[in-house]
Amino acid sequence: MVNNLFKLAIKLIFLICFFFFAGCNSETKKSSQTSKSKEPSELPQNNLTFEAVNGVRFYEVKRRFKTGLSFNADGFQQEPSWTIEFKAPDSMLAYSPEIKRMQGFYLQHDHDKVYNFAREFFRANIISKDSMVLQRLQVDGRIIAGNDDLRSDVNCTFYTKDYIENKLHTTVDELRKPTKADTLFIKKLSERTYRDPENASVAFAAREPVVFTPKGKFITVKKLSNINEASQRTAAYDYIYPEYKIVILRAYKDFAYNMRVVVDANGKIYVKTVNYVLNPEGRKKMLQGVVDIYLKNMLMVSPGKTLGIPHSSEVTVNIVGKLAK
């Protein structure tokens, strides 16, 4: 009897162990199958390298700040313009507006997802078969400015031609246009200048800079350019910091001054600072008189505009007076 009970106990223990391990094995298989079934969808979209898109041409359609806008509070606009194509193993083609064709550049992988080409550093945040997002980075020496640095706050979005035409059913030019959010933002900034037109702290750079047009032959105007590759001054510098040389041919005396002025939405000029003089406040009053007497009567002044909206903007004027002889 005891012997039979012992044999029965052994059989029960065996059955319990069998079902326990079978259950564990089943759960392991189920878990493994679940993991495998989720794996493709959990793979990040940017789990690609430039090699995976070799020979595919991408068009930049958006260049935005982290706010999602093309403009910042200073009036600086990010304009999408790149056309790029990766060429294995370590080169890049980029469209050059100067020579009007694609130009080859060495693609250097710095570290992690940071690359350098066409004299710029980028972080490849997303690389997929039909789109890319590259973050333009400010690099000083061997130091990369952080994401909180405004100079690294630039995200460039690229699409392929197939994606633009066959999925979005639009064009590159249409995608590159400023958005409604951009327009509302510029309207808001402009309205601030209307309430305080001569305040330099609310004035902002105009995408279409101020235009000074002579009314007669006794005054000349020249818009100066400060583009300088050595100083990293690009074309954008000229619209952020527009500068003019104005020569009055029949002035009350010979003089030459460099001054910062605010031109409001109605074309009125306010002298804010006079540079390179010992008594700037005294010269400021004198030059405001010159502006009110000479420039007001001898020039037509078109205010700076952004997205067609006039507003106050600050410009530099080199004003030269030549005594009538």
Q: Residue 115 CB: number of other CB atoms within 10 A? A: 19
| Phi–psi pair at 210, nearest 5 degrees | -55, 145
Give the whole-number percent of the chain exceeding pLDDT 90: 62
- Using one digit for the tens of pLDDT, what is the confidence trace for 284-320? 999 999 999 999 999 999 999 999 999 999 999 999 9
Characterise 169 by phi-psi region: left (phi > 0), alpha (psi -120 to 50), beta (else).
Answer: left
Q: What's the chain's average pLDDT?
A: 84
Among the ranges given (145-154, 181-190, 198-207, 221-230), the one the predictor scored with the smallest mean pLDDT: 145-154
Question: Residue 173: what pLDDT?
Answer: 96
C-alpha distances out from residue 168 to 43, 131, 134, Å: 24, 12, 20
C-alpha distances out from residue 47 to 95, 125, 263, Å: 26, 10, 50
- Using one digit for the tens of pLDDT, what is the confidence trace for 101-146? 899 999 988 777 888 888 788 989 999 999 999 988 876 656 655 5
Tokens matching residue 76: 């600086």
pLDDT above 80 for 38: no
Instruction: Give the position of tokens 């031109």.
Output: 263
Using alpha carbons only, give the angle 215, 287, 321 rounded to the nearest 5 degrees: 55
> What type of residue sits at position 200?
A
| Phi–psi pair at 279, nearest 5 degrees | -125, 75
> What type of residue sits at position 309?
I
- Using one digit for the tens of pLDDT, what is the confidence trace for 137-173? 876 656 655 556 555 678 999 999 999 999 999 999 9
Q: What are the DSSP E strand ranges found in 107-254?
A: 108-111, 114-117, 120-127, 131-137, 139-140, 143-144, 154-160, 211-214, 219-224, 243-251
Residue-wise over 165-195: b if at least 16 C-beta within 10 A, else e? Answer: eeeeeeeeeebbebeeebeebbeebbebbee
| Phi–psi pair at 220, nearest 5 degrees | -125, 150
Instruction: Give the position of tokens 């069998």.
Output: 18
| 170: three-class secondary structure by DSSP | coil
